[in-house]
Amino acid sequence: MFYEEFHIKFDFKDHQALRYFFNKEYGLPISYRDQKLFGGYSLDIHEKNTIYRSIMDDDKDSFIVFIESESFDRDQKLKHDLYPHSDEGLSYLELCCYHGAVNCFKLLRTKFDSEITPQCLQFSFLSGKPDILNECLKFQVPDQECMEYAIISFNIDFVTFLNTEYELEIDLNICRLWRNFQAFFIHLDISNDIENCFVVSTIFSPSLLEYFISQGVDVNATDNKLHRTALKMAALTGNKEAITLLVSHGAKINSIDLNGGSILDYVAPSCDKELIEFFIENGADITSTNLHSAANSNNYVCAEILISHGVNVNSKNNDGSSPLIIAAKHGYVEIVKLLLSHGAFINETDNEGKTALYLALRHNSIDIVKLLISHGADVNIKNNIGLSPLMTAIYQNCFEIAELLLSHGANINDKEIHGYSALHFATYKNNLDQAKFLVMHHIDINAEDNTGHNALDYAYIANFKEMILLLEQYGGQRTVMLETNV
């Protein structure tokens, strides 16, 4: 693989789409959770002979064929994880703006008078096509999202235009995330916001840090949003050169940000043993929240070091979550094993009454579920609204896990706080597979909820004919005679 040959280090943690592409192209190993997540991903929409491929290539001829077809729906929307999020989905015109498909854009405007939305204008600053941008500006006023896309596109003319003409802020955090050095300096020149720029500058060259320090900036200055110091930002990205420079100039290691984050919380995502030990050796305070951060970022090295320094593996955060609960929820198998081996309470619950087992199930971390059960997790602990792991497994159609839970003593007749059993839920959804599983495992078919209704009652009310036949076949009897359409 090229990234192995050239020793390129990628941080895939926050880039689901990037993990998908590298798994697809190079076989990069992925977690079980990613396998479930990527089940909804597909490159098929961009295959040849699709309208989306025509838009992506701005292929006018093939696009005309699609839009003149009798089956063409001009109001169709696309929801896809490989595109920016949209609650309603992206229109064809918005996709044209995203890809800079000038020809397709003009066709949609001419033939259908397709609506130019705020997102059209936002995307036009990303693709940077003047014909599209100028048309969108006739109907929409630029907003802060437009500035974000201008920074991402590295189009400094757009950045300057939006700042000058519409007084939109140049977001330093976006400059940092996308390494836009020019936009960063434009903000510095316009605002003279030295302290905030100093904090963010750790992502760029150490010589820039030295320049700020030489100009008398306070090395412990914080940004105006989260009160983060330059040292914390350097720790976040694992920038050892910047860290060494800042510490040598008196940067405080034990400052706390607005959310209570310490330096070890910031260094946790880097998985850099040398950095973690550097901060500890230089007096970093070790707290239980650091282990939560390590668990949340799947940093085995950091977790191991913290545990070796006596951190309480069963401490809880404000949500009542222990490190084990956090690791189980995210599907981090090795972290879970580490915590269990050091005495983590396997049946601990968070503020909502959810155990590690329940959350692993809820988030489809099947490997964790099996691991926790093998270590003796209580399979019958309910959350605050009375949902058990078994009810959750069946609700999610995880019948293999449901079988495993039953084999370890799970109560199939459990009810939640309203008296609903798993069979009630299966009936509400008219899910015959779930209902068949339950009746074949001898659930109490006539169990009543708090209002005195059983599953068959609700099947009749909803007129679910196949469900009615199934429940009656296994001995279901109505408790009330209500008017139905059956």
Contacts of 387 (CB under 8 A, 6+ apart): 358, 416
- pLDDT band at residue 45 under the 50/70/90 scheme: low
Q: For the chain, give the longest Cα–Cα distance.
A: 85
What percentage of the chain carries pLDDT values higher than 90? 83
Q: What was the pLDDT predicted at 2?
A: 44
Find the range with the poorest average confidence among 8-22, 136-150, 268-282, 411-425. Answer: 8-22
Cβ pair 100, 132 in contact under 8 A: yes
Q: Which CATH class is domain 317-407?
A: mainly alpha
Name the residue type at position 86.
Answer: S
Enumerate helices (H) and strands (E) in the chain, giving the number of each.
31, 0
- pLDDT band at residue 38 under the 50/70/90 scheme: low
**Domain boundaries defined on the chain:** 317-407, 412-485
Q: Cα–Cα distance between 129 and 118 in angstroms, integer?
A: 16
Q: What share of the chain is helix, strand, coil (3-state, %, to 5)?
A: 55, 0, 45
Q: What region does 379 belong to: left with phi over 0, alpha with psi -120 to 50, or beta? A: alpha
Is residue 485 scored above 50 in pLDDT? no
Q: Which CATH class is domain 412-485?
A: mainly alpha
Please state the rounded mean pLDDT for residues 108-134.
98
Cβ pair 331, 368 in contact under 8 A: yes
Name the residue type at position 21.
Answer: F
Q: What was the pLDDT predicted at 28?
A: 63
The answer to whether the 317-407 and 412-485 domains have the same CATH topology is yes
For residue range 425-478, list pLDDT tens digits in order: 999 999 999 999 999 999 999 999 999 999 999 999 999 999 999 999 999 999
Contacts of 417 (CB under 8 A, 6+ apart): 385, 386
Q: Cα–Cα distance between 463 and 263 in angstroms, integer?
A: 60
Q: What was the pLDDT predicted at 269?
A: 81
Find tokens 């229109």 and name the residue: 91
The pair of structure tokens assigned to 297 is 């970022």
Is residue 48 scored above 90 in pLDDT? no
Cβ pair 299, 271 in contact under 8 A: yes
pTM: 0.77
273-281 vs 240-248: helix crossing angle, rounded to 10: 10
Q: What was the pLDDT predicted at 271?
A: 78
Q: What was the pLDDT predicted at 81?
A: 77
Cβ pair 321, 350 in contact under 8 A: yes
For residue range 349-367, list pLDDT tens digits in order: 999 999 999 999 998 888 9
- pLDDT band at residue 483 under the 50/70/90 scheme: very low
Rg of the chain on CA atoms, in Å: 28
Terminal alpha carbon distance of the chain? 63
Q: Cα–Cα distance between 153 and 178 in angstroms, integer?
A: 9
Q: Cα–Cα distance between 115 and 112 in angstroms, integer?
A: 9
For residue range 144-180, list pLDDT tens digits in order: 999 999 999 999 999 999 999 999 999 999 999 999 9
Q: Cα–Cα distance between 391 and 402 in angstroms, integer?
A: 8
